Structure 1
Amino acid sequence: MESSIKVGISSCVLGERVRFDSGHKISNFVTKELDEYFSFVPVCPEVGVGMSVPRPTIRLVSNEERIALVETKNPDNDHTDNMLTYSENKVNELQSEQLCGYIVCAKSPTCGMERVKVYSKNNAAKEGIGLYTRTLMEKMPWLPVEEDGRLNDPVLKENFITRIYCLNDFYESMGGEPTRGKIIAFHSRYKLTLMAHHPESYRSLGRLVADVASYEIDDFFNEYRLGLMKALQNRASRKNNTNVLMHLQGYFKRSLTGKEREELATVISDYRTGLLPLLAPLTLIKHYLNTYPDEYLQQQKYLEPYPQEMRLRYGL
């Protein structure tokens, strides 16, 4: 089944042999687990500007004027301007794709998201961002971007997938024609998610939505999208998750029996102290929600931010 959720990706991470040595950096997580959920849009900026495969290695070099992309053994071969022009054009092209995320190749001088080595004349290296990815993140600051290697971390992986599905839900909810009513309804579904990820943004976005009538709708769409995605970049902490679980618990106080209330309180407490994973209280809450339905809670994406078959909350 082909997914409509589009995710940009460095071509080498998909297994395409486009690297300088004719190799690849295939990610099994991407090709074996994510492939059935997302439609990938592969990009290799180096091939995109016409570099050959194989090709001389390149690196970022800093001088007083700028950060340049040059060949390692022959720094007079400067690819900076070509890469910047390509990056601008490619990212402009991708804007029409309605991407919901982007997976980039770590440490690459074009695609790395962080900790990319930038050399100076004395060869001392500092850390920077790949030229292509820097353009991508500047022109699409709302877009969830993550490196292939960091997706081996269960917490970072879960956070990234949460953001992808949230952005896709936002686009689908707007249906290409955002309205104040659609935005208010969407925000209502993500209140608990925002509370778990960043309480300050939960409050500030709530104030923004309350003031939606004073905005041009397209301006509001852009401001809300950026604020939403920046908020979800913050990983949901155990403390914040516990607060959300206790908030959920409050909705059941009149429905549950004494024994059920005690059971839920114990499971939440055991999660708070690290004895149980997040999945334990969430599973119990979903069980009670089936027994004692609540329309508001059933709409909360916090309870199922992505398909449960992805099994990303195991061990969190």
Structure 2
Amino acid sequence: MSIPVGISACVLGEKVRFDGGHKRNRFVTDELAKFVQFRPVCPEMAIGLPVPRPTIRLVQQDNGERLVDSKGGELDFTDKMKSFADQHISAIQSLCGFVVCAKSPTCGMERVKLYIPNGNTVPGGTVGVFTKQLMAAMPWLPVEEDGRLQDPVLRENFVFRIYALHDFYQNVGNSLTLDAFVKFHSRYKFVLMAHSPTAYREMGRLVAGIKDWDLAEFFVEYRQQFMHALSKHARRSNNTNVLMHLQGYFKRNLTREQKQELLDLIESYRLGHQPILVPLALIKHYLKEYPDPYLQLQTFLNPYPEELKLRYGL
């Protein structure tokens, strides 16, 4: 089953921008589209604006940030856009991610130009109207801008979170039982250790107390904490710690030379001389030779399809 992911229509290549153009992102259309089902939306067209159309922008006024026409600021689209956002977001609760268009006054995720009446801009900018409501209504949802997907670290983290959330919905959301939560959490222990050692400890305590919760409420709380933890990028030092834990499972099986070879590769990764794929490849090799049921289930080893080649630059 394809993973449902929302996307700004222009990023998918649809000619819906104000000038009749698009902002097709090649990673999105040529690679990620093979594994997810995109659900495009253009908020500006959705509220009735044509293509082509006059440009709009965000202006800081006494009654807050307003979405107005760039020419004179007399046409205010704020309320209409917020109403559309509320209606649309209520219908997309099953999404596992969202790719938005950078710099857009409706879809931008950060540093969107925010003007003041004299024509100057507010330092740091703001968030597009639609995306601001999306992130407020669904704080667990992975959201990323098209431009930021050029960064290999941000790209890998975003795609991983999409797969993790889909995994959560498939294996926990469809079977809301104590056993389902415990098994899911067990598979992600090394992932949490890599992304946030603090969250790893806190969520361990959370799951340990699951019997004190209503499972529907626990679902909401776990999802929020889990996705927030994964939004923190896995540092090289944390990944190294996980790799050391993984190699410890083979200490009774490997020769002294094999142990040293693996330790050398882990150290080479720690120093930035090798991508994480190098020590992981040897660990996976040893896992085939010396199967361990617990390790074989760990998501850290195979978080998403290898064809995406997301760990090549990590």
TM-score strictly above 0.5? yes
Q: Which interval holds the TM-score relative to the shorter structure?
A: over 0.9
Distance 1:111 1:190 in 2: 32
Q: 2:190 aligns with which of 184, 192, 199?
A: 192
Distance 2:264 2:209 in 1: 40
Structure 1, unpaired ranges of 5+: none
Q: 1:161 aligns with which of 159, 162, 168?
A: 159
Matched, 1:112 2:105: no
The offset of 1:175, in angstroms, is 4.9
Structure 2 counterpart of 1:52 = 50
Matched, 1:249 2:247: yes
Structure 1 counterpart of 2:25 = 27
The offset of 1:120, in angstroms, is 0.8
Q: What amino acid maps onto 1:157 in structure 2?
A: R
The offset of 1:254, in angstroms, is 0.9
Stretch moving more, 120-129 or 11-20:
120-129
The offset of 1:226, in angstroms, is 0.6
Structure 2 counterpart of 1:306 = 304
Distance 2:26 2:247 in 1: 38
Distance 2:84 2:116 in 1: 24
Distance 2:313 2:66 in 1: 43
Runs of 4+ with deviation above 4 angstroms? none
How much is the aligned-residue C-alpha RMSD, in angstroms? Answer: 0.8
TM-score for the superposition, normalised by structure 2: 0.98
The offset of 1:94, in angstroms, is 1.1
Q: Deviations over 1:124-181 (max 9, x none)?
A: 2121000000010011110000000000001100000110000011011025231111
Matched, 1:208 2:213: no
Structure 1 counterpart of 2:70 = 72
Q: 2:289 aligns with which of 270, 291, 298?
A: 291
Distance 1:182 1:18 in 2: 43
Q: What amino acid maps onto 1:42 in structure 2?
A: P
Distance 1:108 1:175 in 2: 33
TM-score for the superposition, normalised by structure 1: 0.97
Q: What amino acid maps onto 2:313 in structure 1?
A: G
The number of residues matched between the two structures is 312
SS of the equivalent of 2:294 reads: helix
Distance 2:119 2:216 in 1: 47
Structure 2, unpaired ranges of 5+: none
Q: 2:14 aligns with which of 13, 16, 21?
A: 16
Q: What amino acid maps onto 2:121 in structure 1?
A: A
Identity %: 56
Structure 2 counterpart of 1:36 = 34
Distance 1:75 1:156 in 2: 36
The offset of 1:302, in angstroms, is 0.3
